[in-house]
Amino acid sequence: MARPKIPRKSTSVDMTAMCDVAFLLLSFFILTTKFKPSEAVTVETPNSVASKIAPEKDVVMVTLNKDGKVFLSTGDNSSDKLKKKEIIESVNASRNLGLSENDINALVRAPFIGVPLEQLNQQARLQTDQMNDKTLPGIPCKDTTNNQMVDWMRAVSDVYQGTKVNLLLKGDNLAKYPSFKNVLTAFKKNKLFKFQMVTNPESVPQGSDLWKKNISGKGAEE
């Protein structure tokens, strides 16, 4: 019996379409990606069901690492940097630190402030890559007698007087409660009663009251 002849087909596939798709996706990811800013202070934030995206303007961020060290930073945009300069100048004036103009500018460029007030001029001379949570001692706020966060927060509230400030607190999972409490004390002493805590998003457990609320449509927590 004669077999029907099967015409031999070429096995090479036209890759053009696939190539198009690949590069379309590639351009999408390139455009949407936002590199994590290299963080000198490593902080693992806890999860919460809060759905509001952390603000990026007019930000004053207090970072609390797992050893309880406290760091202060502001947003990256130019207006926030200006405010940072004002904050540093204000602290400089109120505590008679005698920082030079150069020192202040160096501190403004630094990603965060993480030394006691007396050592600010030393931090000003450090290179940015030398600043991390291991080399710097953090802003002291352990005890009530020398809570320098209070000074910083006073400067913050002075500089942002009348305008809205987004006070963010970014704490590590393992940070102990007392250090958190000390930061809170510093906030309270300066009548900064509203602040936000940076967290990772988490889904709302099914069946909980908040879940029901979100489902029913009137959701959207304040």
Partner 1 sequence: MAEMDTSGGGGHKKGPGVKKGKKMSTRVDLTPMVDLGFLLITFFIFTTTMSQPTAMKLNLPDDSATPEEQNKAKESGAFTILLGKDNNVFYYEGMLAPDGANFKSSNFKDIRNELIRKKQNTDTADLVVVIKPTDQSNYKNVIDILDEMSINVIKRYALVDISPVEDQLVRLSQGEAASPPAAAPPAGGN
Binding positions for partner 1, rule: CB under 8 A: 12, 14-19, 22-23, 25-26, 29-30, 32-36, 45-55, 64, 66-68, 142, 168, 171-181, 184, 187-188, 191, 193-202, 204-205, 208-211, 213, 221-222
- Residue 31 CB neighbour total at 10 angstroms: 8
Give CA–CA dist 126/116, Å, rounded: 15
- With respect to partner 1, which residue has the nearer C-beta, 50 or 97? 50
Q: Measured from the CB of residue 14, what is the shortest distance to partner 1 in angstroms?
A: 7
Q: What would the two tokens of residue 95 be?
A: 């505590």
- With respect to partner 1, which residue has the nearer C-beta, 102 or 201? 201
- With respect to partner 1, which residue has the nearer C-beta, 47 or 77? 47
Alpha carbon of residue 125 to chain centroid: 24
Q: Measured from the CB of residue 127, what is the shortest distance to partner 1 in angstroms?
A: 26
| Closest to 114 in 3D by CA, of 123, 105, 106 | 123
Q: Identity (one letter) of the amino acid at 146?
A: N
Instruction: With beta carbons less than 8 A apart as the criterion, state whether 211 and 205 touch.
Output: yes
- With respect to partner 1, which residue has the nearer C-beta, 121 or 166? 166
HSE-up of 155 (CA within 13 Å, CB side)?
Answer: 21
Q: Measured from the CB of residue 212, what is the shortest distance to partner 1 in angstroms?
A: 9
Give CA–CA dist 97/100, Å, rounded: 9
Q: Measured from the CB of residue 128, what is the shortest distance to partner 1 in angstroms?
A: 22
- With respect to partner 1, which residue has the nearer C-beta, 37 or 98? 37
Q: Measured from the CB of residue 95, what is the shortest distance to partner 1 in angstroms?
A: 24
Q: What would the two tokens of residue 34 be?
A: 């936002």
